[in-house]
Amino acid sequence: MWFIQPKQDYIPEMPWKYADEPAVMAWQIRARNYNTTPDNLALIPMSLIALGGGYVMSLLGQSLLGSLLLGGGLFLLLMLIFMSVTHNTTIIVYRFTKTLAEEYSWKPQEASAAAFLKWSAIILLPIVGVLILMDPSLVVAGIGPLGMGLMAWMMGRKQAKQNKIQHKEIEWMEAEEIVAWRKRNLIGLRFTDIHEDGIETFFYSTIYCQPHNFDENIQYLRKALPNVPYHERELKVFSNYAL
């Protein structure tokens, strides 16, 4: 889920290809490594759907408490599901040496969603049980925690934490331009590809930074590459690169 931040230090456990070379920088981050504008806009109609679903479910309650519990519960559940789609994130781990940079990345949504659903079910089930004892008409509310628990069990069986991990190498010393996009704490290093037909295309390798190390990383790159142009502007972000 987008709101569950990584607590584990993944840097030591990554199978770095250049582990014999001393690291000059290393960090990990959970980032939305894509163009976020369409997804942010898509959340608006999804919110209306969640609101409508919550209202319809609230009509099934036979008391004010039941209506609030059913309607609010479904609205919250739908919003969490929708935001898991529109705000999905990637865990990225970087390690820079004096000549090369390595990047490992994977999407942790399934594992983190399973953990969220599991603990939500554990917390909500006894609460709903007490409410049912107070008002038997709320028995239908038990479907929510039971459904969450079932989904967590099914997702947990897949063990999908890092089964699609990706590795990328960056020859950062060969960068032709450094671009900093402060709004997203993103650094773009420009490279040029020469195809077999002689046509040249360029792209920016994306480096997502933590807010506290963004300026530090920029300063290091600018000092190491004093003759490379530096600009601050927005980048058009895609999943693995930017333009």
| Three state DSSP letters for 122-180 | HHHHHHHHHHHHHCHHHHHHHHHHHHHHHHHHHHHHHCCCCCCCEEEEECHHHCCEEEE
Tell me, what's the pLDDT at 49? 81
For the entire predicted model, the pTM comes to 0.73
Q: Are strands 177-181 and 230-232 parallel, antiparallel or unpaired?
A: parallel
Please choose, from the candidates 87, 79, 77, 81, the residue with its C-alpha nearest in 3D space to the C-alpha of residue 107: 87
Q: Domain coordinates of the chain in residue numbers?
A: 171-232
Higher pLDDT, residue 94 or 82: 94
The dihedral formed by the CA atoms of 233, 25, 206 and 7, expressed in degrees to the nearest 10: -110
> In this predicted model, what pLDDT tens digit does every residue of 91-138 receive, in sequence order?
899 999 999 999 999 877 655 566 666 656 666 666 666 655 666 655
Please choose, from the candidates 145, 113, 136, the residue with its C-alpha nearest in 3D space to the C-alpha of residue 61: 136
Q: What is the CB-side half-sphere exposure of residue 9 using CA atoms within 13 A?
A: 5
Tell me, what's the pLDDT at 149? 61
CA–CA distance, 195 with 174 (Å, rounded to integer): 18
Whether pLDDT at 7 is above 80 = no
* Phi, psi (degrees; rounded to nearest 5) at 89: -125, 170
Range among 8-22, 67-81, 162-176 rated most confident: 8-22
Lowest mean pLDDT among 47-51, 175-179, 210-214: 47-51
The percent of residues above 70 in pLDDT, for the chain, comes to: 74
CA–CA distance, 138 with 64 (Å, rounded to integer): 11
Tell me, what's the pLDDT at 226? 95
Tell me, what's the pLDDT at 2? 45
CA–CA distance, 60 with 140 (Å, rounded to integer): 9
